[in-house]
Amino acid sequence: MGDQNPIQQLGPGRPHHCASDASDHFGPSVVHIDTSDGSSTEDMASDSDFTIVSSRRLKRKIRRTSPTGRQTPKQASRVRSYTISYVPTSTTDILNSLNRQSLSEYFELVAPGQVAEIRINARKNILSVEVTTKSILDTLKAIVQLGNIPVRAFSAYDKETTTGVIYDVDEEITDSSLEKLLSSSSPIRATYK
């Protein structure tokens, strides 16, 4: 029984009064730390060989970044474009069913070298064509059929154009006299009642 640990001799539920015996068995409870600098000129010379350790996350981020991501973005060209849009005259026709290649070839024949972009909005069933010159818009407005689909052309308003609604207009005023009664700093293209 003399070989047993003093803590075990106390048994469960008894207070441990033998702290000194336990420290003798498990080692000293106070550890002495050397606080001297211990560095020498030889150690300082080896500090120049020290490399900075970076985290893996930073390395991954650097690896993921493309070399073009660090460059400044290119400015979009300031070429003015004019838009004309087409909608089918029948609600059952779908412009998205048209062949894109044949559309490109057709608009290139009608407006050679002036078509900047052709877009189809499938949700709204609208085909829009952007051209570089305003003079070709009248030619494009004359188109009444694309492929086998009859269409109606309309041009988008310019940035200088303002549209609006005037409420409570007297019913006796005609469309022709309404335009004479209105005044605007920009030219009035059309009035509808």
pLDDT one-digit tens code per residue, 4-13: 555 555 555 5
Asked whether residue 31 is assigned to any structural domain, the reply reads no
In a domain, 140, yes or no: yes
Q: Compute how many other C-beta atoms are within 10 angstroms of the C-beta atom of residue 131.
A: 22
Q: Is residue 143 part of a domain?
A: yes
Q: How confident is the model at residue 168 (pLDDT cuts 50, 70, 90)?
A: confident
pLDDT class of 191 with cuts at 50, 70, 90: confident
Lowest pLDDT segment from 44-53, 117-126, 150-159, 174-183 = 44-53
pLDDT digits 0-9 by tens, 20-37: 555 555 555 555 555 555
Is 147 domain-assigned? Answer: yes
Write down the pLDDT at residue 185: 77
Task: Please report whether residue 93 resides in a domain.
Answer: yes
Confidence of residue 39 (pLDDT cuts 50, 70, 90): low
Look at the pTM and tell me if it is higher than 0.75: no
- pLDDT value of residue 144: 94
Q: What is the CATH number of the domain that holds 133?
A: 3.30.70.330
Residue 125 in this model has a pLDDT that exceeds 70:
yes
Instruction: Report if residue 124 sits inside a domain.
Output: yes
What is the distance between the alpha carbons of residues 154 and 133, in angstroms, rounded to a whole number? Answer: 16
Answer yes or no: is pLDDT of 141 > 80: yes
Contact criterion met (CB below 8 Å) for 88 and 149: yes
Q: How far is it, in rounded angstroms, from Cα 56 to Cα 63?
A: 10
Alpha carbon distance 104, 107 (integer Å): 5
Tell me how many domains the chain contains. 1
Domain extent at residue 145 = 82-155
User: Is residue 12 in a domain?
Assistant: no
Concatenated DSSP letters of 78-143: ----EEEEEEESSTT--GGGS-HHHHHHHHHHHSTTTEEEEEEETTTTEEEEEES-STTHHHHHT-
Comparison of pLDDT for 69 and 186, the residue scoring more: 186
Query: Model confidence over 50-103: pLDDT tens digits?
Result: 556 566 666 665 566 555 555 555 555 566 788 999 999 998 999 999 999 999
Q: Is residue 20 part of a domain?
A: no
| pLDDT at site 61 | 59
**Which is more confident, 182 or 87?**
87
Contact call for residues 141 and 156 (beta carbons, < 8 A): no
Counts of helices then strands in the chain (DSSP H, E)? 7, 5
Asked if pLDDT for residue 16 goes beyond 90, the answer is no
Express the helix, strand and coil content of the chain in percent, nearest 5 each: 30, 15, 55
What pLDDT, on a 0 to 100 scale, did the predictor assign at position 122?
A: 92
- Low-confidence winner among 101-105, 154-158, 170-174 (lowest mean pLDDT): 154-158
State the pairing for strand pair 126-131/115-121. antiparallel
Sheet holding 115-121, edge to edge: 115-121, 126-131, 82-88, 149-155, 145-146
Q: How far apart are CA 126 and CA 146, in angstroms?
A: 12
